[in-house]
Amino acid sequence: MFVDRATPHCSKITRKDLAENKDTIRVEYLPVGSPEFNPVEECWRQGKYIIFSCYYPTFDCLKDAISIYYKTRRFNLDVIKYLTRSTD
């Protein structure tokens, strides 16, 4: 599993669970400060322009819009191509 170093990915609970399952799960951490290696960042990038292009009267409305967007959107992101692309 490839993960970034976000707090939930490095928490004591996560480390404990990973230690208990070290025979079945191997974690590789993405380099610090390298969002270009994380395909999820591309999904966030695409979504922020659509989700935040309008006004939401309440925080719950914003949460609902985010939830609906990511539950219904299909990203045609080829992860291998994304991770091996040239940054030139």
pLDDT digits (tens, 9 = 90+) for 45-61: 888 888 888 899 999 99
CA 42 to CA 28: how far, in whole Å? 19
Average pLDDT value for the chain: 82
CA 42 to CA 23: how far, in whole Å? 31
Strand, helix or coil for residue 69: helix
| Stated pTM of the model | 0.49
pLDDT digits (tens, 9 = 90+) for 56-83: 999 999 999 999 988 898 877 777 776 6
